Structure 1
Amino acid sequence: MKIIGITGRSGCGKSSATNFLAEQGYPCIDADRIAREVLLPGSACLAQLQASFGQDILESDGTLKRHLLADRAFATPEGTRTLTAITQPEILRRIEERLRQAETGGAGMAFVDGAVIVGTPFEARCDALILITAPYETSVQRICSRDGISEEMARRRLDAQTPLEELRRAATVEIVNDGTVPQLIEQIKAYLASLRKEEHG
């Protein structure tokens, strides 16, 4: 089974691309959603996060105060690295589990969508990597309207992510999403057509 990664920074429109691929019947594993799952009450990661970022990051019912954790973790490069070191192994384990299910189900191609594929052990598992990009200010506006946060917070979030140049070096193909969702989908369709052509070579 071919594994194709889809990556990009916040607000680039990755989810629009994967929603379309899922509608076409391709298995799509959302690594960012799995990253949220490993932070749900009862997850083994939470006690480690408390030890690093403070006992008060959890509510009394065990729910994570996401904004508080994000503020502390993304305040310094060390904090970001610590967060990754705690959550990444469990995220990767869950992704592999879902890929096995897709392959067992007979899928010939599966997509893994995640902001943090490049620079992780999972990068080597991808047969190809699609990078979706958008102009910086466009991304800022999309993040603000999606998450209801200030422009300053959106910029901080973007600036804490993997630099675009690093993503470009790793990518097999770059799709620029600076227009509408239908325009993005046309580019995805063209890429799928080129993949099928390669396969039938």
Structure 2
Amino acid sequence: MKIIGITGRSGCGKSSATNFLARQGYPCIDADRIARDVLLPGSPCLEKLQAYFGQDILEADGTLKRRLLADRAFATPEGTRVLTEITQPEILRRIEERLRQAQASGAGMAFVDGAVIVGTPFESRCDALVLITAPYETSVQRICARDGISPEMARRRLDAQTSLDTLRAAATIEIVNDGTAEQLENKVEAYLESLGKEEHG
């Protein structure tokens, strides 16, 4: 089974690309959603995060105060690194589990959508890596609209993410999402066709 990673920075539209692929019937694994799931009550990651970022990052009922954790974790490179070191192994374990299920169901190709594939152990598992990009300010507007945060916060979040140069160096192909949703779908479809040709060629 071919494993194809779909990555990009926040607000680039990779979820739109993945939703389109899912509608075409391909198994799509949302690594970012898994990353959120590993922070749900009862997850083994929470205790470790508390030990480093403070006991007060959890509500009394065990729910994570996500914004507080994000503010602390992304305030320094060290904090970002610790957050990754604590959550990454559990995220990777869950992705592998989903991939096994996809393979067991007979899928020839599975897509893993994640902002943080490049530079992680999972990168080497991908047979190809699709990078979705969008103009910087377009991404800022999308993040503000989606998360209800200020442009300044959105820029800070973008600037804390892996640089485009690093992503481009790792990517097999770049799809620029600077138009309508339909235009993005057409570009993804063209990529699927090229993959089909490779398989049959």
Which of the five TM-score ranges fits, normalised by the shorter chain?
A: over 0.9
- Cα shift at 1:123: 0.2
Q: Aligned residue for 1:59?
A: 59
Can you list the C-alpha shifts for 1:85-120, whole angstroms capped at 9, x where unaligned? 000000000000000000000000000000000000
What whole-Å deviation, never above 9, does each CA across 1:33-91 have from its counterpart, x for those lacking one?
A: 00000000000000000001000000000000000000000000000000000000000
Gaps of 5+ in 2: none
Aligned to 1:5, the other structure's residue is in SS state strand
- Does residue 164 of structure 2 align to residue 164 of structure 1? yes
Alignment match, 1:110: 110
Q: Which residue matches 1:36? A: 36
Paired with 2:18 and 2:124, the residues of 1 have a C-alpha distance of: 20
2:93 aligns to what? Answer: 93
Shift of 1:181: 0.5
TM-score (norm 2): 1.00
Distance 2:77 2:135 in 1: 24
Distance, in Å, in 2 between the alignment partners of 1:71 and 1:98 is 30
Give the whole-Å Cα distance in 2 for the aligned partners of 1:52 and 1:12: 31
The percent of aligned pairs where both chains have the same amino acid is: 85
**Structure 1 spans left out of the alignment, 5+ residues:** none
Helix, strand or coil at the partner of 2:59: coil
- Distance in 2, matches of 1:179 and 1:63, equals 38
Task: Provide the aligned C-alpha RMSD in A.
Answer: 0.3
Aligned equivalents of 1:153, 1:49: Cα separation in 2: 23
In structure 1, the partner of 2:138 is 138
